[in-house]
Amino acid sequence: MGSGSSAPKAAPPPPATEEKSPEAEQPQTDPRLPYSNFREVFTLKNFWKTIRRNEKDCGKAMFARYLKQQPDNKAMYAKLKNVDVSTLDAACSDTGFETIAANYLKVFDDVVQAVEEKPGDVQAACDRLTAVGKMHRTKVSGMDSSAFQQMEEPFLFMVGDVLQDRFNEKAETLFRKFFQFCLKYLLEGFNK
Ligand code: HEM
């Protein structure tokens, strides 16, 4: 058995000031994001997996809720000519309804994906949103920019519906911030 004197000396621990906190190991988030802490991006990404797995139903739930709340907007959508809003629900299988519902959800999905892939530089997410905003300006005659806000409640309703008891106050704040981020760049594109 070796004595204490002949045993190799362990390297001294690094000075406390050099120790990295778990936060310091985490990627930086783009200041344009409403999350200063990467942990929030990570949580959002995890919650979004549930939405992705139920993509079609989620899109339909959100879009049906929006149309029920804004029945007058229906007339703006050529693809919804066969849809009766008074009897509409998320189970509607009209092709036009399903197509638009999927395309609306895809905007949010693309944004989450872009943020997930590059939390430190969300330019791709901003570009996607400004393009959608701009498209409304050119294609949706008579639309007022304030109308984009109408999607917040249906968006949160859909998230709450699919997350069930996981949709606590923290999750709600996370998704509300996410929607506000989307809204900011949709409006930027619309108003450009
Ligand atoms: C967060 C909010 C919104 C998002 C992400 C969004 C996204 C989109 C997308 C992806 C499309 C193409 C869908 C398709 O034709 O298959 C679209 C089309 C359209 N959007 Fe929105 N939209 C939003 C809010 C609104 C609001 C509030 C209105 C009405 C006041 C509106 C009116 C329209 C209309 C009329 C079209 C069909 C345009 C056409 O092809 O002629 N959108 N939107």
Q: Whose CA is nearest to atom 5 of ligand 1?
A: 104
Q: Whose CA is nearest to atom 43 of ligand 1?
A: 104
Taking the centre of ligand 1 as the mean of its atom positions, its distance from the CA of residue 47, in whole angstroms, is 25
83, part of any domain: yes
20, part of any domain: no
Q: Whose CA is nearest to atom 24 of ligand 1?
A: 148
24, part of any domain: no
pLDDT in single tens digits along all 192 residues of the chain: 444 445 556 666 655 554 455 555 788 999 999 999 999 999 999 999 999 999 999 999 999 999 999 999 999 999 999 999 999 999 999 999 999 999 999 999 999 999 999 999 999 999 999 999 999 999 999 999 999 999 999 999 999 999 999 999 999 999 999 999 999 999 999 999
101, part of any domain: yes
pTM value?
0.89
Looking up residue 81, the CATH number of its domain turns out to be 1.10.490.10
Q: Is the CB of 102 under 6 A from ligand 1?
A: no
The boundaries of the domain holding residue 171 are 38-191
17, part of any domain: no
32, part of any domain: no
Instruction: Indicate the number of domains in the chain.
Output: 1
Long-range CB contacts (< 8 A, 24+ apart) of 118-126? 118/30, 119/27, 119/28, 119/29, 119/30, 119/33, 119/38, 119/41, 120/27, 120/28, 120/29, 120/30, 121/30, 122/30, 122/32, 122/33, 125/185, 126/32, 126/185, 126/188
Q: Is the CB of 140 under 6 A from ligand 1?
A: yes
127, part of any domain: yes
Taking the centre of ligand 1 as the mean of its atom positions, its distance from the CA of residue 133, in whole angstroms, is 9
